[in-house]
Amino acid sequence: MNNTRVNPMSERALALAGLVQALAQVRRVADTGQANAAILTTAMDSVFRIDAQSPADVYGGIEALRPGLTLLRDYFGNQPRDEQLPRLALAVMQLERRFVREDTMASRVQAGIREHAAHAQRLGSSHPDVLSALGSLYAETLSHLRPRVLVQGNPHYLGQAPVVSEVRAILLAAVRSAVLWRQLGGSLWDLALRRRDLVAAINGHLAEA
């Protein structure tokens, strides 16, 4: 990260938006078998931007997070579009807490991401081969932590291996955002006790995006 003085809550809002934006795609893929291509690319690019200079850079700019910021605004305004999304976000945050305590697993995931980085750069981070590789990485590591993140959806699509791999790959992106959220000082207390500050940061970003 650079040394520019920033509002910590403003940065946390971006990480949280990245989290819910990725999970909204998890829900969409599980229900329809199809992701929004641009949003999927934003999520998968974030996985490979391990050394980004700022939270905005992780996602390729604030504009790319507009869908997630809008979801957060609606949630905090008691207008959720998907009642399962907050529960899924909480499950991923709990998973992240267990994940970062597993040093060996964390190292293995980071090594796996670096291993596939050149592949992603050549083909694109949302290429089916890259999604398959990252989905396998998730299955071999994070999926073994308990309790597991359970994704509900259309059994027709969730019975297809490519769809399952895509869901797992996007879950990896969601965990990446959860790690960033925690690295920036975010916690569940922000959602409960600093809600007004968080909403102000979200609205500020939406005005800027």
CA distances from 178 to 4, 34, 118, 160, 171 (A): 23, 23, 24, 27, 10
HSE-up of residue 8 (Cα within 13 Å, Cβ side):
9
CATH architecture of the domain with residue range 8-208: Orthogonal Bundle (1.10)
Residue 79's pLDDT band (cuts 50, 70, 90): confident
25-35 confidence digits (pLDDT tens) = 999 999 999 99
150-202 confidence digits (pLDDT tens) = 999 999 999 999 999 999 999 999 999 999 999 999 999 999 899 999 999 99
pTM: 0.95
**Mean pLDDT (whole number) for 78-100:** 92
Which sequence spans correspond to the domains of the chain?
8-208
55-74 confidence digits (pLDDT tens) = 999 999 999 999 999 999 99
Q: Give Cα 152 distance to the centre of its chain.
A: 17
